[in-house]
Structure 1
Amino acid sequence: MSDLPRGARLGVDVGKARIGLAGSDPDGLIATPVETVARVLDVPTASGGAAVATSDVARIAAEVDERFAAVVYVGLPRHLSGNEGAATADARDFAGRLARAVAPVPVHLVDERMTTVTAHAQLRAAGKRTAKHRPVIDQAAAVIILQQALDVERVSGDRAGEHVDVA
């Protein structure tokens, strides 16, 4: 049995237009879809140069509070080779802003290679037409991100991924 504190976990799939959210039960056994949040790309900065919390970050922070979440897992989109690109930098930036908004709840970045492809395949297998995927694909990808993190927790007894420092 792990020494991790009990509490729900949130999974976040950051996209350019939408953000998928998934949540777990307090024991971290199973991930389920929560909602899709509209992404805010124009991030204003305060007079000191720090990014201001946007409505998307605020909505996720509210979900963290409502669920008494113990940790938030944000998907880190790497290339299949493992290299990082523009989407990775975007996810890192978003995770940093989210970490500041939800502190002291920890935020971890977890590898999300192939989650959207897997989510599409699962939706097709469930009989959903591709045209109907758009509203739920981000949630489905967030479920996969979170379930993989929960599986790592169970096996390792520790949080999955890379901890995001609150700067």
Structure 2
Amino acid sequence: MPQPHISALALDIGRRRIGVAGCDRLGLLVTELPTVQNRSFRTVVDEIKAIATERRVNVLVVGLPYSMNGELGKQAVWVQTFAEKLSSILQIPVEYVDERLTSFQAEQMLQAEGVTLSRHNKGLIDQKAAAIILQQWLDQRDRPSTVPSSPSPTSSVTGDPE
């Protein structure tokens, strides 16, 4: 049975930007939030903490970029390490959603809305991708998950997420 009140914060974690989306307390409406620039891990922690505190977030939902064959590649392992570290510092549990093709879907949706995409508004794609990730998670809450809440890395992390 789903929780009566949920406050999830979805993150589309990238090396330059982090798309962010939240939902209402009933888990019905998804809202795109401002993109966080990934300049330093400490800055990301501070910005996400402020959003999480304001929204009383009780779960982080992170898109995991599985490869097209369903394996965890280097980028997915890096994202998972980043998310686990963020989760630990913020003391908020993290759950994962398979985010394959969400950026492509986001671009298609923005173009359908008449948005001209350029290098100056890539944050819009990240926001929309985070919203798609959160909507997928909300849709799957009542069904058994196909993505484990803590997948095992299949390769070592190259580089610290800081």
TM-based fold match above 0.5: yes
Q: Deviations over 1:62-98 (max 9, x none)?
A: 2111111121101100111101111101111111111
Provide the alpha-carbon RMSD of the alignment: 2.1
1:65 maps to which residue?
Answer: 53
1:109 maps to which residue?
Answer: 96
Is the 1:8–1:68 contact (alpha carbons within 8 Å) kept by the matching residues of 2? yes
The secondary structure found in structure 1 opposite 2:108 is helix
Q: Give me the whole-angstrom Cα distance separating, in 2, the residues matched to 1:86 and 1:15.
A: 13
**TM-score, L = length of structure 2:** 0.84
Task: Name the CA shift for 1:162/1:40 in 2 (closer, same or farther; >3 Å).
Answer: farther
Unaligned runs of 5+ in 2: 152-162
2:158 maps to which residue?
Answer: none
1:18 maps to which residue?
Answer: 17
Unaligned runs of 5+ in 1: 44-53
Task: Name the CA shift for 1:160/1:12 in 2 (closer, same or farther; >3 Å).
Answer: farther
- The 4+ residue runs of structure 1 with deviation greater than 6 A are none
Q: Deviations over 1:71-129 (max 9, x none)?
A: 110110011110111110111111111111221x2111211000000000000111111
Q: Give me the whole-angstrom Cα distance separating, in 2, the residues matched to 1:95 and 1:77.
A: 12
Determine if the alignment matches structure 1 residue 162 to structure 2 residue 148.
Answer: yes
**TM-score, L = length of structure 1:** 0.81
Equivalent residue for 1:76, pick from 64, 78, 97: 64
Task: Name the CA shift for 1:163/1:5 in 2 (closer, same or farther; >3 Å).
Answer: farther
Equivalent residue for 2:111, pick from 124, 127, 139: 124
